[in-house]
Every structure is written in C-alpha cells, then in structure tokens.
A and B are shown apart, each in its own frame.
Chain A
Amino acid sequence: TQLLEQSPQFLSIQEGENLTVYCNSSSVFSSLQWYRQEPGEGPVLLVTVVTGGEVKKLKRLTFQFGDARKDSSLHITAAQTGDTGLYLCAGLRGSNYQLIWGAGTKLIIKP
C-alpha cells in the first residue's frame, strides 16, 4: 500500500486543455514536494509546499496543499506538449529527512 496515492496514474489530453492531478494520503506531512521526471532522467523539483492551504503558482502550474496537510493537487492550465512527463509527489513527515514518494502520474500532452 502506497502511503501517498497519486491519481490518475495515467492521463493523455490534447494541447490547450486544463488538467488536475492529485496526491492523497491519510497521514499528515510537514511538507510536500512536486517533481517532474522525463524518461531516462532524474526527477526535477518543481515546488515545495509547507503550510496547510498554501497555494503556489509556477507559470501555468498551480500547486495546492490541503488544509490538513494530507493531500495536494497540481493544476495545469492550457497544457503544452512540453508538460509531458511523470509528475511525482513526495512528502516529509516530521523532521525526518526521508522523503516518502508517490508512484506518479504519467502525463502525455498531444499536439
């Protein structure tokens, strides 16, 4: 059983559409990070959210941390083909430096 559940596992949409992917848990996290990973490469950090209810924007990407710090979402507006990749969420519990990872959402944006 994954401690962090990501949904959907796979999403394929047309360029220009909007989408939201989710990262859910029954556990509380002190912070949550979102990464994007391309095939054959390591994950690249997009954002860290720390405060319950926090919203962060990175161009067309909007990240939200749930009020109870158990879940997070990533919304992409007007998706572009360059957004294609595996989106991973990872959380920290307490002061432990060991990240707990979700299995990822594989996103494909079709031209």
Chain B
Amino acid sequence: DTGVSQNPRHKITKRGQNVTFRCDPISEHNRLYWYRQTLGQGPEFLTYFQNEAQLEKSRLLSDRFSAERPKGSFSTLEIQRTEQGDSAMYLCASSLEGLAGAANEKLFFGSGTQLSVL
C-alpha cells in the first residue's frame, strides 16, 4: 500500500477559474477527510465522508466548494470561481473506522495539493 495519494501536488490558477483536486485514500479505509492549511496554521476541517456519504461539512465552507466520493473510494474536491483567499495547502486524510471509537482513530494524511490563486 502506498498510502494516501493526492493529485496534483501543485496547482497555479487565475482568479475566477475552477480547480479540482483528487485524493486516493488507503484502500481499506472507509473514512475520508479534507482539510485546508495556510502558512503558520494548523489544518482546518473542510468536510468528511464515511464511505460515499458526506456526513459533515464545515460551516465556514463557501458554496463554491464541493466534494464527492462517488464509489466510496477516491474523492474529489472542486473549488469554483477561485479567489486569492483560497490559496492554501489542501490536505486529504483517511482512516479506518474501528471498534475503539473516535478517540483512537488514526488519520493518515496525503502530501497535499498546494494551490496558488493569482
């Protein structure tokens, strides 16, 4: 298993354009998370899937952001009409639901997609 894979690693776009990122989680993991991280800050939660169901979405997330996980495997995050404030590292993480409960859940992160909006 090669871990969580994210593509592309880097994306430069002009303001107003749409962008889409892909995340391939660890194959047996049923939970998938998207986070955003800016310089000097910890990751900020965006959304969370259990299998193909999107169970939670941050209230801070604009309607320009949408995420899917159509077959409960890979996921895509789309940002429409990008703004300069969207520039950040977008991180994907996956985990396996366990009997030990949320407290012992282990998240495995990908290397992220660094987005720069000009």
Contact = CB atoms under 8 A, between A and B. Distances in A.
Interface residues of B, number: 25
A42 B43 CA distance: 10
A98 B41 CA distance: 17
Given A31-B104, A48-B106, A42 B44 contact: no
Contacts of B28: none
B25 interface: no
Of B93, B106, B109, most buried by chain A (CB within 10 Å of CB) is: B109
A43 interface: yes
Contact of B111 (A42, A50, A97, A98): A42
Nearest to B92: A42
B99 interface: no
Contact of B106 (A45, A50, A96, A101): A45
A56 B85 CA distance: 39
A68 to B, nearest CB: 16
Contacts of B26: none
Nearest to B110: A42
A88 interface: yes
Given A42-B4, A88-B42, A97 B31 contact: yes
A92 interface: yes
A99 B103 contact: no
B7 to A, nearest CB: 14
A81 B65 CA distance: 39
B107 interface: yes
A87 to B, nearest CB: 10
B105 A97 contact: yes
A99 B104 contact: no
A97 B109 CA distance: 15
Interface of A: 4, 30-31, 33, 40-45, 48, 50, 88, 90, 92, 95-99, 101-104
